[in-house]
């Protein structure tokens, strides 16, 4: 079934084990399912494995129903929840055959994948190896492009805008699920980060609790409001824009800056000028502007060490129900690479006590990133 939105088209389907899959297209024309009568082999100009009746959008792998054993356990000392997901030990890890074995590439003759169409723009689907399952949260994969050798920072601005619409749409959908308390879109990029698949993709977690980082930020925002009657996020943004020493890039609706107490060797935060709580609240103009400045910042990061930069792009959004009025949407982009050939490891102080020690100054990093603008 295809649903039309002002800026995108969403088509829903099911994989052979019952998981949901959704295609996102900028324009109409996507034919999915047997009713469309569109054969994958015909669409690709080839026969698929010599088998007849192979229809675009139909997963012919015959996967068994997914059985997962994830659970969440409570750490009384830290007042935190921990996910236990032992089934993830068997998930796909860096297949050696490249695109020929990649589960995120389109389905081709002789190679059935998680995405049963010969091409796609953006696709979201339930993770086969979720960190949360069994009615306690949800985990989805978002494939940004059908190009196995591509990268998010190399996408055209129109595709990044479609990714933003996809993340906003999935945030709304996951927020409506029973038991989901926070929705977290993110991208892990690079083997050093621990990425198990090289194909350009991100993930979305629907947590069954409010995460520790978010709870800590909300409590800080609450104390600040009680003390000053002001908004902590708004004042941080105003101070950075006024000072300018750590600002990397600005646009009509967004400012990118290195935080004053940066933990990572390369770290940039991206704030909207208006106090939006999550991606669905962004206007069309804010989404268009975000697509452009997101690519701008990523291009600067790619030049920082003169090599592809391993990074995490983490979207902070307001919880579904708790303290939404205290939160503000923002993106954290950070890398563990402290030099072209050295990684910042989380050793005794960081891992044992949670106290980060940064070998770079935020002001120097910001100045370097400003120099690296296109």
Per domain, the residue ranges of the chain are: 2-207, 212-371
**CATH assignment, 212-371:** 3.30.428.10
Nearest one of 83, 187, 61 to 134, comparing CA atoms: 83
Signed CA dihedral, 178, 183, 185, 186: sign only: negative
For 228, the token pair is 């000053």
Which of 59-63, 312-316, 333-337, 370-374 has the least mean pLDDT? 59-63
Q: What is the pLDDT of residues 178-197, one digit of tens each?
A: 999 999 999 999 989 989 89
Strand partners, 337: 343
Say whether 182 sits in a helix, a strand or coil. Answer: strand
Q: What is the mean pLDDT of residues 48-58?
A: 49
Look at residue 44 and tell me whether its pLDDT is greater than 90. no
pLDDT of residue 42: 35
Q: How confident is the model at residue 51 (pLDDT cuts 50, 70, 90)?
A: very low
Nearest to 55, CA basis, from 39, 31, 42, 43: 39
Res 52: pLDDT: 37
Cα separation, 290 vs 316, in Å, equals 15
| Bridge partners of residue 84, in order along the sequence | 71
Per-residue pLDDT at 90 exceeds 70? no
**Band of residue 129 on the pLDDT scale cut at 50, 70, 90:** confident
Q: What is the pLDDT of residue 134?
A: 61
Please choose, from the candidates 195, 142, 137, 157, the residue with its C-alpha nearest in 3D space to the C-alpha of residue 311: 195
Query: What's the mean per-residue pLDDT of the chain?
Result: 89
What is the C-alpha separation between 14 and 188, in angstroms, rounded?
26
> Could you give the CA distance from residue 75 to residue 81 in angstroms, rounded to a whole number?
6
**Residue in 87, 111, 201, 330 annotated catalytic:** 201
Six token digits for residue 45: 């100009």
Q: Return the minimum-mean-pLDDT range out of 82-91, 141-150, 269-278, 325-334.
A: 82-91
Token pair, residue 159, equals: 């595709």
Select the highest-mean-pLDDT range: 18-27, 230-239, 339-348.
230-239
- Verify whether residue 201 is a known catalytic residue: yes
State how far the Cα of 274 lies from the Cα of 254, in Å rounded to an integer. Answer: 9
Give CATH superfamily name and number for 2-207.
HIT-like (3.30.428.10)
Task: Encode 92-127: b = buried (16+ Cβ within 10 Å), e = exposed.
Answer: eeeeeeebeebbbbbbbbebbbbbbbbebbbbbbbb
Q: Which two tokens stand for residue 70?
A: 């994830």
| Two domains, one topology: 2-207 and 212-371 | yes
Question: Which H or E run contains 314?
Answer: strand 311-316
Q: What is the mean pLDDT of residues 101-112?
A: 91
More confident call, 32 vs 256? 256
Residue 227 token pair: 């003390």
CA distances 236 to 17, 151, 232, 331, 332, Å, are 47, 31, 6, 14, 14
Q: In this prediction, what percent of the chain has a pLDDT beyond 90?
A: 74
CA distance 342 to 357: 15
Q: What pLDDT was estimated at residue 34?
A: 37
Question: Taking 80 as the threshold, does the pLDDT of residue 345 lie above it?
Answer: yes
Using pLDDT thresholds of 50, 70 and 90, give the confidence band for residue 3.
confident
User: Quick one: pLDDT band at residue 36, thresholds 50, 70, 90?
Assistant: very low
Distance of alpha carbon 3 from alpha carbon 172, whole angstroms: 15
CA 355, CA 358: separation in Å to the nearest integer? 10
* Position 38 pLDDT exceeds 70: no
Place of tokens 């090599």: 307
Give the integer Cα–Cα distance in Å for 156 and 56: 26
């Amino acid at each position: 079934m295809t649903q039309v939105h002002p800026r995108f088209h969403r088509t829903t389907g099911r994989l052979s084990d019952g998981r949901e899959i959704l295609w996102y297209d900028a324009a109409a024309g996507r034919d999915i399912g047997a009713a469309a009568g569109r054969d994958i082999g015909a669409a690709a100009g080839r026969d698929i494995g010599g088998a007849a009746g192979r229809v675009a959008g139909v997963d012919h792998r015959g996967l068994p129903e997914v059985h997962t054993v994830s659970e969440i356990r409570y750490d009384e000392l830290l007042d935190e929840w921990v996910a236990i997901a032992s089934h993830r030990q068997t998930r796909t890890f860096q297949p050696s055959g490249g695109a020929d074995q990649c589960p995120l590439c389109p389905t081709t003759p002789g190679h059935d994948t998680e995405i049963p169409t010969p091409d796609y723009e953006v696709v979201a689907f339930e993770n086969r190896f979720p960190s949360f399952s069994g009615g306690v949260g949800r985990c989805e994969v978002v494939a940004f492009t059908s190009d196995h050798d591509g990268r998010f920072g190399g996408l055209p601005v129109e595709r990044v805008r479609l990714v933003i619409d996809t993340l906003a749409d999935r945030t709304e959908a996951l927020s409506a699920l029973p038991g989901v308390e926070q929705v977290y879109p993110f991208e892990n990029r690079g083997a050093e980060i621990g990425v198990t698949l090289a194909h350009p993709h991100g993930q979305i977690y629907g947590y069954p609790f409010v995460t520790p980082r978010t709870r800590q930020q909300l409590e800080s925002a609450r104390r600040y409001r009680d003390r000053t009657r002001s908004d902590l996020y708004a004042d941080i943004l105003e101070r950075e824009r006024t000072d300018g020493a750590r600002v990397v890039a600005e646009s009509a609706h967004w400012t990118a800056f290195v935080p004053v107490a940066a933990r990572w060797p390369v770290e940039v935060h991206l704030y909207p000028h208006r106090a939006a709580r999550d991606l669905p609240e962004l206007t069309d103009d804010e989404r268009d502007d975000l697509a452009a400045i997101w690519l701008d910042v990523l291009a600067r990061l790619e030049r920082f060490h003169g090599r592809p930069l391993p990074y995490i792009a983490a979207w902070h959004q307001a919880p579904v129900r708790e303290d939404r009025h205290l939160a503000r949407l923002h993106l954290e982009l950070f890398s563990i690479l402290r030099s072209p050939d050295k990684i910042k490891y989380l050793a005794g102080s960081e891992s044992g006590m949670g106290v980060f020690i940064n070998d770079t100054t935020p002001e120097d990093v910001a100045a370097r990133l400003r120099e690296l603008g296109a």
